Amino acid sequence: MSASTTESVGAGAVSPEQAALIRRFRADPLAAPDAQLRAFLLPLRNLPAARKHALMRLPAQQAWTLVRLGGRDAPVEIVGGRWCSRADAEWAVFRARWQAVHGWDPERLDD
């Protein structure tokens, strides 16, 4: 596949560069990102707080769950899921934010 083509995934398309960055993040969500990966992740991390997906620690269970921030004077909504691995939890929040912005689940990238 040449650098100018895209892969069709679900309802959207992704460039080979984006696909490589998604795969790299998936392989190690806890790794310190280099400049290229940081620039790729920044738009998802800088989404407006209201309705943004985030992780909430469940201390009694030593796990994380996915939530949606409520914004001003609105409660946090528990979306669900339970991850004991922080890496799996970080991938889950990436997937949720990506899907909210792009309309398809990056887990389907290699389908």
- Tell me the C-alpha distance between 28 and 31, whole Å: 6
**pLDDT of amino acid 2:** 39
**pLDDT of amino acid 10:** 54
Instruction: Please answer whether residues 97 and 40 qualify as being in contact, where contact means their C-beta atoms are separated by less than 8 angstroms.
Output: no
pTM of the model: 0.87
pLDDT mean values, one per 10 residues, the chain (111 residues): 50 85 97 98 96 95 96 92 98 97 92 72
Contacts of 11 (CB under 8 A, 6+ apart): 103, 104
